[in-house]
Amino acid sequence: MRRLLPRPTRPHRDDVLIALGGLLGGLLVWEVGLGGDLPLFGVPNWAALIALAVMSGAELLRRTAPQAGLLLATGALVLDVCAGTLVSTMVMFTDLVYAAVVYGRPTLARRLPWISVLLTVISTVVPPIATRSSESLLIGLSIGLIFMAPCFTGAIVRNHREVAAAERLRAEQTALLAEMDRTQAVNAERSRMARELHDLVANHLSAIAIHATAALSFSENSTRSGDAQHAADAATADISGTPDTSAASATHDALGVIRENSVQGLAEMRRLIGILRDAEDTDGPIAAPTLADLDTLFERARGTAAPGFAFTLSDTRQPDADPLPAPVELAAYRVIQESLTNAQKHAVPGVVTVRVAYAEESRRSLSVRVTSTLGDAQGPRAPGSGAGLIGMRERVELLHGTLETGPVSTDAGGKVWEVRAVLPMSRA
């Protein structure tokens, strides 16, 4: 048995009341002359009052220092028996034995019941044999009443308290684990929503940012040129007969791309909000594009990319091959989508190549490789926070795959930026 609560440093209010009640009750019994047997060994009768006072003081230690209180109570009990015995002193002793088992150290609480049994047996067997009197059995019964009974009562109470404390602790741990599971589920759902939201809208917003910056740069250049540019345009018109509308055309094209991506991004956002509001559809995916939609993705990339970009797709899978698991299809599509978006934001104009193939002959995993020209991009760029790479890595790791990004050397001696993902299909 273990101690349930930290031991207090000051006497409990109930202990003070018990001590005062026992002291006043003992004085009342002494005053009316209801003392016990005759004194033994010549001990004066008034010594019972000393035993009563010591026993009352020991009651103040029943919670703060139960072992010390029991030692004082044992000495006071011996003095009380020799002085003639007061009932109040005996009653307080039984309470201190009970308190020692309930509030004492685990070792004391374990040993006291066995000690009480041993003393009760000895006091019940030895006196009748020594005195040849049946009346001596009362000694064993008395010791069993004042010592063994409170010991086992305290043991039962302590055991019940420990069981209740264990149940409370188990309930608290269960509640804590449930809260941790809930928090983990919320965080996982937030991460999932962040990935989906980024994949659905971020590429459109990136294109908007790039072309808005380009449109602003055209406008600023036109403003700075002022009348000189107007004169040059007039001269060009006089020579060729047609005004130079290249800047206006570029601005018009940029605004067209901005409008197209704004409409598409708004549609994707509305679809996402609609799915979130649909409480009945909790198991379906937010969006489930597949590798069959890559042609549409490439057409969109060609329409939003800056001049000089070219996009090629190489899919070496057999047309009649078994369909890929849906999580693998979605992860591969998102990796390609994010890689194309990053290439438009950070790479220099050049060829962006996407290769989709089985990573091994057994067709147990799918390999996706996206390469783009490595260099310092010129012109307007969209700001990036790195959320796309984080989302790609999370998607791949959820399928127990691997994702590698960084510059690699080519056979021609140059360097390209490569994104390579390997997606196992057996765990999907």
Angle at CA 362, nearest 5°, toward 361 and 365?
95
Are 59 and 19 spatial neighbours (Cβ–Cβ below 8 Å)? yes
Which of 308, 273, 297, 421 lies closest to 357 in space, CA to CA? 421
Name residues whose C-beta falls within 8 Å of residue 371's C-beta, 6 or more positions apart in sequence.
352, 353, 408, 416, 417, 418, 419
**SS3 category, 98:** helix
Q: Token digits for 194?
A: 């962040």
Are 203 and 260 spatial neighbours (Cβ–Cβ below 8 Å)? no
Query: Mean pLDDT, consecutive 10-residue segments, the chain of 428 residues?
Result: 56 89 89 72 84 92 91 90 86 93 90 88 78 70 83 93 92 90 81 70 66 63 53 48 56 67 67 61 60 88 83 83 83 90 84 88 85 69 64 87 90 85 80
Q: Which residue has the tokens 């996407």?
A: 354
Residue 370, pLDDT score: 94
Q: Token digits for 415?
A: 């360097």
**SS3 category, 55:** helix
DSSP code at position 357: E
Cα dihedral 337→343→349→354 (10° resolution): -50
Are 99 and 62 spatial neighbours (Cβ–Cβ below 8 Å)? yes
Strands 415-424 and 365-373: antiparallel
Which of 350, 352, 359, 348 lies closest to 396 in space, CA to CA? 359
Residue 312, pLDDT score: 92
Angstrom distances, CA of residue 427 to CA of 42, 303, 326, 370, 399 = 92, 36, 12, 23, 6
Strand order in the sheet with 365-373: 310-315, 351-358, 365-373, 415-424, 402-409
Angstrom distances, CA of residue 363 to CA of 42, 383, 393, 425 = 103, 38, 22, 8
- Report the amino acid identity of residue 270: R
pTM: 0.49
Angle at CA 106, nearest 5°, toward 101 and 107?
95
**Residue 402: Cβ within 10 Å count:** 15
Q: How far apart are CA 26 and CA 50, in angstroms?
A: 11
Q: How far apart are CA 288 and CA 286, in angstroms?
A: 7
Which of 310, 317, 312 lies closest to 347 in space, CA to CA? 310
Are 54 and 75 spatial neighbours (Cβ–Cβ below 8 Å)? yes
Which of 308, 306, 311 lies closest to 380 in space, CA to CA? 306
Q: How far apart are CA 73 and CA 53, in angstroms?
A: 10
Bridge partners (DSSP) listed for residue 193: none
Q: Where are the beta strands (DSSP E) in 107-232?
A: none
Residue 321, pLDDT score: 66
Q: What would you measure as the largest C-alpha separation in the chain, in angstroms?
A: 147
Domains of the chain are 13-177 (no CATH), 288-428 (3.30.565.10)
Which of 203, 296, 304 lies closest to 253 in space, CA to CA? 304
